[in-house]
Amino acid sequence: MNEREVMEYIEQAGRYGIVPGLDNIRELCRRLGDPQKELVFVHIAGTNGKGSLSAYLSSVLKNAGYRVGKYVSPVIYQFREMIQVNDRMITKKALCQEMEEIKNTCDEMTAAGLPHPTPFEMETALGFLYFKEKKCSVVVLETGMGGLLDATNIVENTAVAVLTSISMDHMAFLGNSLGEIAAQKAGVMKPGCRAVSAAQAPEVVEALQSAADERGCPLTAVRSDEITAIKYGLERQRFNYGCYKNLEISLAGRFQVENAALAVEAVEALREKGFCISEAALRNGLKEARWPGRFTVICRKPLFIVDGAHNEDAAKRLAESIEFYFTNKEIIFIMGVLKDKEYEKIIGLTCSFAKHIITVTPPDHRRALPAYELAQAAAKVHGSVTAADSLEEAVEMSGLLAGRDGVIVAFGSLSFLGRLTEAAGSAFGGTVGRPVKK
């Protein structure tokens, strides 16, 4: 297989949809030699902040001298970003060779009357194969959706399970209450591992503690009152947490300080599991971490920011950052979402900050909400809304409306932010370099 054939095969497999459960991925990995059994994991679940947490922890572990695998989704710029070793994407050669093996195995499964693995199951197996081949000493593994029945949850050697902020999302699969959703996400806790959580709502805390007690996992949580001396900024941010003074991060957004504090707690848990991580590795790792698509500045004039706020909780955090950083600025929104998201709530939480809202259809996504439908929903609460025919038209329009001194904020589904970044770079120049090495 070549790279084009790989992508076509994965796209065609999309017709099998989302199938929660572990039987299929277990059988696929068994036939591939169970590569995941030879790896050690930091397993991350949650509604928001998983990608940022993965960036912080993989950067810290790399600074500590470990060979670090990282598995994240969704991707921003290209498919190979999903699977990285020490911040380098899986090679094209390895992608093609190992997907050929996975395709042959999937064909064997269907010939035996078994269901064809879904794209996410195949991608997860691909990650395990590559991390084993590269002899990763630890893998930072991000769940796709949920936890208990997520394809990534066939792993057994979990050193630390990390629970980021948990809120209402994917209710059709995970449950209709915070407690039910938290119980699903708590499924990444394995007997004997250390568990670490962000500050959570009481209902979530109760569900996480119950799961931790049941599996014998010591559970610690971020102590929000110990996050002090915060100095916010778009280029860098500083804060104290517990005994650590003047920690610095390069990711923008008020919420990133909380994510970084959770990373500190996860590092403490890793130390208790035998990982050797110096304070210098912690500090340098936090500072050097990069994660595109989370309140990321991609252009300077006009100031153009992209953010993956695709649910209610993320929209609240985006609104807080806009209000904090851009008081008295004229702000133009570019919005694109998937049809199964609570986009009316996202609009309601953010629209008051926008002078004008431009809606787009996330390209190449079967669950994309058409720009016109999103515009109709936004027009119910905002007087200046336009549906764009393409990402390029949205970028051009936003530039004319913002001028040199305005701010453009593009948010919603992560699936279109990579294409949007490229369109903005072509239109305005001055894009920030991608953090992922080829």
**Is the pLDDT assigned to residue 431 strictly greater than 50?**
no
- Identify which has the larger pLDDT, 11 or 28: 28
- Identify which has the larger pLDDT, 267 or 367: 267
Q: 169 pLDDT band (50/70/90 cuts)?
A: low
**Is the pLDDT assigned to residue 377 strictly greater than 90?**
yes
How much of the chain, in percent, has pLDDT values that exceed 90?
70
**Overall average pLDDT of the 221-231 stretch:** 95
- Identify the residue whose tokens are 């799961």: 211
Domains in the chain: ranges and CATH: 3-288 (3.40.1190.10), 296-428 (3.90.190.20)
Q: Are 118 and 24 in contact (CB under 8 A)?
A: yes
Q: 269, 247, 234, 232: which is closest to 432 by C-alpha?
A: 234
Q: What is the pLDDT of residue 73?
A: 83
Q: What is the pLDDT of residue 432?
A: 46
Q: What is the pLDDT of residue 18?
A: 67
Q: 168 pLDDT band (50/70/90 cuts)?
A: low
Structure tokens at 346: 């996202």
Q: What is the pLDDT of residues 184-221, one digit of tens each?
A: 899 999 999 999 999 999 999 999 999 999 999 999 99
Q: What is the pLDDT of residue 314?
A: 83
Determine the Cα–Cα distance for residues 309 and 316; give it in Å rounded to an integer. Answer: 9
Q: What is the pLDDT of residue 8?
A: 92
Determine the Cα–Cα distance for residues 231 and 247; give it in Å rounded to an integer. Answer: 10
Tell me the three-class secondary structure of the chain, residue by residue: CCHHHHHHHHHHHHHHCCCCCCHHHHHHHHHCCCHHHHCCEEEEECCECHHHHHHHHHHHHHHCCCCEEEECCCCCCCHHHHEEECCEECCHHHHHHHHHHHHHHHHHHHHCCCCCCCHHHHHHHHHHHHHHHCCCCEEEEECCCCCCCCHHHHCCCEEEEEECECCCCCHHHHCCCHHHHHHHHHHHCCCCCEEEECCCCHHHHHHHHHHHHHHCCCEEECCHHHEEEEECCCCCEEEEECCEEEEEECCCCCHHHHHHHHHHHHHHHHHHCCCCCCHHHHHHHHHHCCCCCCCEEEECCCEEEEECCCCHHHHHHHHHHHHHHCCCCCEEEEEECECCCCHHHHHHHHHHHCCEEEECCCCCCCCECCHHHHHHHHHCCCCCEEECCCHHHHHHHHHHHHCCCCEEEEEECHHHHHHHHHHHHHHHCCCCCCCCEC
Q: 295 pLDDT band (50/70/90 cuts)?
A: confident
Determine the Cα–Cα distance for residues 40 and 137; give it in Å rounded to an integer. Answer: 7
Q: What is the pLDDT of residues 251-277, one digit of tens each?
A: 988 889 999 999 999 999 999 999 999
**Overall average pLDDT of the 328-352 stretch:** 91
Q: What is the pLDDT of residue 434?
A: 44
Determine the Cα–Cα distance for residues 262 and 274; give it in Å rounded to an integer. Answer: 19
Q: What is the pLDDT of residues 384-395, one digit of tens each?
A: 999 999 999 999
**Is the pLDDT assigned to residue 172 strictly greater than 60?**
no
Q: 176 pLDDT band (50/70/90 cuts)?
A: low
Least confident of 85-94, 169-178, 359-368: 169-178
Q: What is the mean pLDDT of the chain?
A: 91
Q: 170 pLDDT band (50/70/90 cuts)?
A: very low
Structure tokens at 428: 């305005």
Q: Are 96 and 103 in contact (CB under 8 A)?
A: no
Q: What is the pLDDT of residue 218?
A: 96
Q: Which backbone phi and psi does 108 adopt, to 5 degrees?
A: -65, -40
Structure tokens at 282: 């912690």
pTM of the model as a whole:
0.86
Q: What is the pLDDT of residue 300?
A: 85
Q: What is the pLDDT of residues 61-90, one digit of tens each?
A: 999 999 999 999 878 778 899 999 999 999
Interaxial angle between packed helices 3-13 and 92-111, expressed in degrees from 0 to 180 and rounded to the nearest 10: 40
Least confident of 11-15, 22-26, 191-195: 11-15
**Is the pLDDT assigned to residue 23 strictly greater than 70?**
yes
- The residues with which 407 forms a beta bridge, in sequence order, are 303, 331
Burial (CB count <10 Å: 0-12, 13-18, 19+), residue 111: exposed
Structure tokens at 385: 């809304």
Q: Residues 413, 415, 421, 423: is their CA dihedral positive or negative?
A: negative
Longest dimension (CA), the chain: 64
- Identify the residue whose tokens are 């500045």: 297
Q: 113, 124, 142: which is closest to 34 by C-alpha?
A: 124
- The residues with which 378 forms a beta bridge, in sequence order, are none
Q: Residues 265, 270, 273, 278: is their CA dihedral positive or negative?
A: negative
Q: Which backbone phi and psi does 349 adopt, to 5 degrees?
A: -80, -20
Q: What is the pLDDT of residue 17?
A: 65
Pairing label, strands 227-231, 219-221? unpaired
Q: 291 pLDDT band (50/70/90 cuts)?
A: confident
Determine the Cα–Cα distance for residues 40 and 27; give it in Å rounded to an integer. Answer: 20
Q: How far is CA 432 from CA 130, 290, 336, in A?
A: 29, 11, 22
Q: Are 184 and 167 in contact (CB under 8 A)?
A: no
Q: What is the pLDDT of residues 407-423, one digit of tens each?
A: 999 998 877 888 888 89
Q: What is the pLDDT of residue 171?
A: 45
Q: Are 251 and 289 in contact (CB under 8 A)?
A: yes
